Chain A
Amino acid sequence: MFPLKKIITFFLLLICVTLFAQEVKMVPIKGGTFVPLYGATTKKPVRVASFSMDVYPVTNAQYLAFVKKYPDYSRSKMKGLYADKSYLTQWESDFSYGKNNLSNAPITNVSWFAAKKYCECQGKRLPTMDEWEYVAMADEKRSDARTKEEFNRYILSWYEKPKTYSNPVGQTFKNYWGVYDMHGLVWEWTADFNSIFLSGESRKDKDTDKNLFCGSGSVNATDLMNYAAFMRYAFRGSLKANYTTKNLGFRCASDK
């Protein structure tokens, strides 16, 4: 009786360990509609279908495993078309992130091409901008906390904090969906980052511009939330696909 129990628990443990060792944790995100704060060309809600998202951004250790498997993406082999010169500069060498980088800190200094390839090699993809923003509007308790002043202050205070990119993943709050680090750690690539128009070409976002730049005297929660989102969209709008910077990482998503 006793040994049988032991054997069963042993096998259960074994199964659990192998399962968790192989799979990077993802959580299901239930689809829905929302009105993106900025970059929306109409005020109509955007529909996001149900999908799954990585709980954490991709880490140095995970990216190292990828580079070892696909040496074309190592620092010295990476093609100029796919990444600029600062690609993985913080690493010690092609196949070592060195002592100055934590294994569980988010990988940064990666281009959009590299991030996209990484996710494809895991059988996943980069989240779309709408998907990312949809998950990012949740705080600990609510799926949409954008009108909460405290939530917006938290996001904006992070924008002012230096060097959060060297922190380990999973130390910011766990949001409504069970996802960590949407705010407070690094900026993240999205699949369609290059669909943003903040310059003269944007035709229908003038209204939002006015809201942002000609704010009335008082700053309320809505202004803060617009500002926080504006920062993200403006940052994405300034990117090119081969750019790499030390505060920009990524995570993957998948259709169900």
Chain B
Amino acid sequence: MKLKLTQNQKEILKKGWSYLFVLPILILIFASQSCNKKDVVDKDKPISDLSIYNLPSKWTNQNGQNVEIKDLRGKVLVMVMIYTSCKSACPRLVADMRNIESRLPDNIKEHVKLVLVSIDPEVDTPKRLKEFAIANKMDGDQWEFLRSTEENTREFAAVLAVNYKKIAPLEFSHSNIISVFNAEGELAYQQEGLGVNSDETIKKITEEAVKLN
């Protein structure tokens, strides 16, 4: 018994040498990790109470990638709910979004993401969203088209205070609201109506985005 123990101890001692080499490397790794953490300190901050990043729902974008709402954290979000087969209000809402995007000052553009969420996930497949993005010249990185399940969509609409109802196949009645969220996902401003003056919306987006410069 005793002999065995000492043998074991010897082995441990032998291995101990290698630990001496490994240890500094481990320390280095940990040190560099904590440095990394400092760089993204924003993302480690707890999500605020009123933030949409509390929403756990999963979405798919126009490129077929899986997206969680909280993946968008750190950008000012301009969000609207639409459906691609819409012929009445949505084209104007989409035009409003494009107009807002084109009027954003260059120095903040990289901090802004414009998000269009489909209220018709059944029809609006990622492929269809992609086609819609291209057709409407909204194919840049600043544009994000999202779809999820019917239930997640209903919940998301509830957060945005957007009402919608399917009134026929390929026809929905819906609120025309463009919402601005700050980098922490808190509602900063809402623009209601179609073709309304977007000055105030752009001002709010700029205010929030400048903070990130």
A interface with B by C-beta (< 8 Å): 41-42, 79-82, 112-113, 116, 191-192, 194-197, 201-204, 237, 240-241
Contacts and interface: CB of A to CB of B under 8 A. Distances in A.
Interface of B: 49-52, 54-55, 154-155, 157-159, 161-165, 167-168, 173-176
A116 B155 contact: yes
A192 to B, nearest CB: 6
B165 A240 contact: no
Nearest to B55: A81
B159 A201 contact: no
21 contacts: A41-B165, A79-B49, A79-B50, A79-B54, A81-B54, A81-B55, A81-B159, A82-B54, A113-B158, A191-B154, A192-B154, A194-B157, A194-B162, A194-B163, A195-B163, A195-B165, A196-B165, A201-B173, A201-B176, A240-B161, A241-B159
The prevalent SS among residues of A at the interface is loop
Which of B51, B55, B165 gathers the greatest number of chain A CB atoms within 10 Å? Answer: B165
Contacts of A237: 163
Lowest 7 A-B CB distances belong to which pairs? Answer: A241-B158, A195-B165, A80-B49, A41-B167, A80-B50, A194-B163, A79-B49
Contacts, number: 55
Given A81-B159, A196-B165, A241-B159, A201 B175 contact: yes
Given A194-B154, A202-B173, A203-B173, A81 B165 contact: no
A241 B167 CA distance: 22
Given A79-B49, A81-B54, A203-B173, A194 B159 contact: no
A212 B173 CA distance: 21
Contacts of A192: 154, 165
A168 to B, nearest CB: 30
Contacts of B54: 79, 81-82
Contacts of B154: 191-192, 194
Contacts of A116: 155
